[in-house]
Structure 1
Amino acid sequence: MKYKISYKRVVYVLIVVSTLLRVFFASQLEFGNDEVYYWLYAKYPDISHFDHPPFVGFFIQLFTFDLFFDSELAIRLAAIIPGSINMYLLFLIGCKIKNELVGFLSVILYNLNIYALIIAGTFILPDAPLLFFWLLSFYFLIEALPLEPSKDTRKKLFIAFFFIACAIYSKYQAVFLLVGVVLYIVFINRTWLKDWSFYLSFIFPLITVSLIVYWNYQYDFISYKFHNNRVSLFSLSFNKDSFLREVLGQMVYNNPYIFFSIHIMTVALIRKKFIFEKKQLWLFIFFSFPLIFTTIYLSLYKDTLPHWSGISYVTLLPLLAVYIHKNKKIERNLIRGGVVLMMLMVFTSIEINKGWFLPIEKNINKEEFNNKDALMDMYGWKQLSAKITPLLETKNLKSIPIISDKWFPLAHIDYYIARPNKMDVYGIGELTNIHKYYWINKKKKKLTSKDVLYLTDSRNYRSPKSVYGKSFNQYNLLKTIPIKRNDKIVKYVFLYLLIKD
């Protein structure tokens, strides 16, 4: 008798293995620029923030017990654990639309997707709560929207809208969930237009949107002005570089295999070579393609980021799993691909810290040494902390505040230097450069010290005189600190004492 595979058990094993590998990956790497910045959302919580809504900060507070456990791994658990739940949600969606094999393949595809596995599932970014709540809402919408209104489907619709509200409170593009709901009800199942529950459900997203609007009302709608400059829908200037970067970025972030497979599947749907149940098919279409097309359109005129549409590609994974599930060869290749990507994660984390194969670009000036190595944003901060702390102690500098005119590298300095040494940090510059620090400054005592410290490094060197030329009289270089990797210098950090007479 042939043994029947329990895909559910295999999925459990896969989720555990993926979680352990992401834990290892997260424990080996220091924070990137964006990650360490969102640590500020947890340290200084608010009902909204300049860049994004606040849920990523709430997630960090929840998983670190309000920063009681304050390390890279502890903070990244706010992405890792929800990422593991995301896999199970995709399995359930796959089972719902087809069978356990499709659910299993959906999880494999998730682990092949760089956006889902790493950007939203390992690094602590607003995409972590966004993807989590997006998939939760999508799961309950599948259970409700294709059916007629009833006591059970109304309950599921309310639950879905609650999670939509949470998704919007995580990142603004979650409003495309509401776009998907409206499109589906108007074009596929109009019976919901006659039911009171559909309209009452909007109370949840209205609450979170109201909180965001109220915060912006207090500050002259500063978030909308900031994002409008980034994503304006109308412009007359074609931005070729942004468009190419967006398309290539979507391909890389979502894995070229998944990217091209989805496009092949889409062509098959148009040519009716891939037939799928209509009511379920339109769910996937309305909850994925509008955001993909919008980001591509925006990239024609503005600089965009490829991960903005990542949630749409993740939404399509169960449908893609249905398309490919009959091909056993593809199934085996997917498993191999997942293993290779996980091994690559382990290798990458070790390589960033060891630098065995990374070239070092040497420049004549220390101020520009190896300045094109973007990985330096995630390396050397702990080493800097260990080297600079004795200097701060011997020279009695811990009582002197640290300033910078940009949120990066100030957030890194705040976490790795100021936090362990209990030093004050101030963002002194334009609001569009210091971001969250504009509000953090208000929570602290007014900066009155005539002496301040200023740190910069060869990755993004900016001389203190060029930044604060009119504010101070003396710019004394106290120490040039080399940062080494594998016994080789990879960047320099410069500590200045600025004095106002």
Structure 2
Amino acid sequence: MSSPRRCLFLLIAVSLVVRLAWAATLETGQDEAYHFLYTVHPDWSYFDHPPMLRYVAQAGISTFGGWLHPLSLRFGFVLMFGGATWIMFTWTARWFGEWAGFYAALALNLSAYYTAAAGAFVLPDGPLLFFALLTMWRLSEALVASPGRLVPWLWVGLACAGAMLSKYHAVFLPLGALVYILVTPSARRNLLTPGPYFAADIGLLGLVPVLIWNAQHDWASFGFQTGRAVGGRLQIGGLAVMLFGPMALLLPWIWYSLIAALIGRLRSFRTITGIERLLICQALVPLVLFGVVSCTRPILPHWPLIGFLPLFPMLGADWAARSVREPIVVRRWLNFMTASVLLIAGAFVVQARFGLIQFPFRDPCIEISGWDSVGRELQERGLIDRPNTFLFTSHWFDSGQVAFAVRNRIPVTCYRQGDARGFAYWSRPEDWVGHDGILIDTDLRDDVNTIYAPYFREVDELPSIEMTRGGRPFRTVRLYLFRDQQRPFPFAYERTPK
């Protein structure tokens, strides 16, 4: 029988090959293409996210010598997921044994969102996953294994700083640790030692770039993010997303195993101590908070997933125990889960590349298909090299797709009043006066002239572009040439009056 470490190395190697193939095959998604522009506009931070996203994306592009391709853009994120797998194994093995560590790492690789979106796409969730696991691992050393020692807290601070540089969700990591300290009498003595304060000071360094950018831009990022979580009135749609979104993203069997691990420990929370109590506190803080927020505000289904991360070590322990009692059942169950993930991933790639299935509703792969064909058509028509010209769309995500499709060889912006996202800070409205703008319209709107013509001298409709995948057209994109912009289009966010 193979050792758990050999199984781990095989898992990392196979997973790495599969996700590199995935990364090389698929076109960029709409968030990924938009995040590519972070590398084009280096800054302290960004409207949407902290700057770690740019560091990882730029590292991948630099590794490939500046070659712009979905593979080079995603490369650093693929490698970070391999590191996250190793951390999950090592952390879990430290407390529950090496087989538990392997099963926890395997479950992470079999959960759709982590192994695909966070593990192979250009999203802040990849770096957050890596640094969140590292933070929780070191917290378990500082709070449970070696309370009172200063060195573990140093690592907690460094890991937390990396998480803070990755995504705002990192704030739940110190909050979960604080809740554990407050509800665990034996852990409260940590508040009388310098370690937690030392770690907090280091961790806050990860917020310095974010604070600098926000101070320079009227705290726009903080206002945008808090506005998504505060206010609203009672509604059930968000709560449904909170309950069923993670089930779909993690896949039902992984979600069920994690929830079973959570409920099983909650039933005996008063009597459990040490690592399991810490893990439950780390999980409950974000899950409860997003549960409350979802009752009054719409949330995205992946937001609560940081609350499921601390449950993986306990899932690994549960699977390891069951593998001793029912080895054949567990082996068959793992084979089913592995085959399911590979089948889903393969079907997604085939649909994205060739569009074989005609959906009666919106194609789930439509936003990750066809933009390369748009870039090629713009190149063949000579529009990319047209002097004194820029491209624009009415959606920040379409503008990101256009920018990556043309490899940023022509300026691209977003003309949407009130929601231009980062484009509102990467240029000023007056920068485009005197230039010609080519509108790439995916909405096929009839009011294009009403919206944009007042800002230009004249407009001509150009021949449309048919997006293709697998050589077959599947979506129409209209083009309009707006000549000689006369006055600024107000896409910038309003500044706070002085």
Q: TM-score, normalised by structure 2?
A: 0.89
Instruction: State the Cα deviation string for residues 79-127 of structure 1 (Å, max 9, x = none).
Output: 1111111111111122111211111111121122122111211111011
| Letter of the 1:425 counterpart | V
Residue 280 of structure 1 deviates from its aligned partner by 0.8
Q: What is the 5 A alignment of 1:399-478?
A: 399-417=388-406, 419=408, 422-430=409-417, 432-442=418-428, 446-458=431-443, 461=445, 463-478=447-462
* Alignment correspondent of 1:368: none
* Alignment correspondent of 1:30: 27
Residue 340 of structure 1 deviates from its aligned partner by 2.4
Residue 332 of structure 1 deviates from its aligned partner by 3.5
Residue 297 of structure 1 deviates from its aligned partner by 1.4
Residue 487 of structure 1 deviates from its aligned partner by 4.6
Contact 1:161–1:205, Cα closer than 8 Å, also in 2: yes
- Cα distance 1:149–1:157, how it changes in 2: closer, same or farther (>3 A)? same
- Cα distance 1:385–1:184, how it changes in 2: closer, same or farther (>3 A)? same
* Alignment correspondent of 1:238: 234
The answer to whether 1:11 aligns with 2:8 is yes
Residue 277 of structure 1 deviates from its aligned partner by 5.7
Contact 1:392–1:398, Cα closer than 8 Å, also in 2: no
* Alignment correspondent of 1:198: 196
Q: Distance in 1 between matches of 2:446 and 2:397?
A: 12
Structure 2 alignment gaps of length 5 or more:
487-498
Residue 495 of structure 1 deviates from its aligned partner by 1.6
Contact 1:7–1:100, Cα closer than 8 Å, also in 2: yes
Contact 1:454–1:498, Cα closer than 8 Å, also in 2: yes
Residue 249 of structure 1 deviates from its aligned partner by 0.6
Q: Distance in 1 between matches of 2:37 and 2:126?
A: 16
- Cα distance 1:396–1:208, how it changes in 2: closer, same or farther (>3 A)? closer
Q: Distance in 1 between matches of 2:45 and 2:411?
A: 23
* Alignment correspondent of 1:20: 17
Q: What is the 5 A alignment of 1:332-371?
A: 332-359=332-359
SS in 1 for 2:473: strand
The answer to whether 1:391 aligns with 2:381 is yes
Contact 2:60–2:72, Cα closer than 8 Å, also in 1: yes
| Letter of the 1:122 counterpart | A
Residue 310 of structure 1 deviates from its aligned partner by 1.4
Q: Distance in 1 between matches of 2:271 and 2:94?
A: 13
Tell me which of 288, 302, 307 is aligned to 2:283: 288
Residue 35 of structure 1 deviates from its aligned partner by 0.8
SS in 1 for 2:456: coil
Q: Distance in 2 between matches of 1:119 and 1:396?
A: 34
SS in 2 for 1:283: helix
| Letter of the 1:109 counterpart | A
* Alignment correspondent of 1:314: 309
Q: Distance in 2 between matches of 1:325 and 1:30?
A: 38
Instruction: State the Cα deviation string for residues 170-215 of structure 1 (Å, max 9, x = none).
Output: 1111011110221222332122112122212211122222332232
* Alignment correspondent of 1:55: 52
- Cα distance 1:119–1:466, how it changes in 2: closer, same or farther (>3 A)? farther
* Alignment correspondent of 1:68: 66
* Alignment correspondent of 1:166: 162
Instruction: State the Cα deviation string for residues 63-85 of structure 1 (Å, max 9, x = none).
Output: 22287132101111121111111
Tell me which of 366, 381, 393 is aligned to 2:371: 381
Contact 1:56–1:126, Cα closer than 8 Å, also in 2: yes
Contact 1:325–1:331, Cα closer than 8 Å, also in 2: no
Residue 322 of structure 1 deviates from its aligned partner by 1.1
SS in 2 for 1:146: helix
Percent identity reads 23
Tell me which of 171, 181, 186 is aligned to 1:185: 181
Contact 2:391–2:438, Cα closer than 8 Å, also in 1: yes
| Letter of the 2:389 counterpart | I
Residue 146 of structure 1 deviates from its aligned partner by 0.9
Structure 1 alignment gaps of length 5 or more:
362-371
Instruction: State the Cα deviation string for residues 232-282 of structure 1 (Å, max 9, x = none).
Output: 1x54x212222212221111112211222233333332444x999611111
Residue 346 of structure 1 deviates from its aligned partner by 2.2
Q: Distance in 2 between matches of 1:203 and 1:429?
A: 40
Contact 1:474–1:498, Cα closer than 8 Å, also in 2: yes
* Alignment correspondent of 2:97: 99
* Alignment correspondent of 1:367: none
Contact 2:107–2:312, Cα closer than 8 Å, also in 1: yes
Q: Distance in 1 between matches of 2:55 and 2:385?
A: 36
| Poorly superposed stretches of 4+, deviation over 4 Å | 274-277, 460-463
| Letter of the 1:456 counterpart | D
Residue 142 of structure 1 deviates from its aligned partner by 1.5
* Alignment correspondent of 2:273: 278
Q: Distance in 1 between matches of 2:195 and 2:240?
A: 43
Contact 1:108–1:334, Cα closer than 8 Å, also in 2: no
Residue 336 of structure 1 deviates from its aligned partner by 2.8
* Alignment correspondent of 2:467: 483
Instruction: State the Cα deviation string for residues 370-426 of structure 1 (Å, max 9, x = none).
Output: xx3342211111112222212126x9735421233431211111111262xx21223
SS in 1 for 2:356: coil
Q: TM-score, normalised by structure 1?
A: 0.89
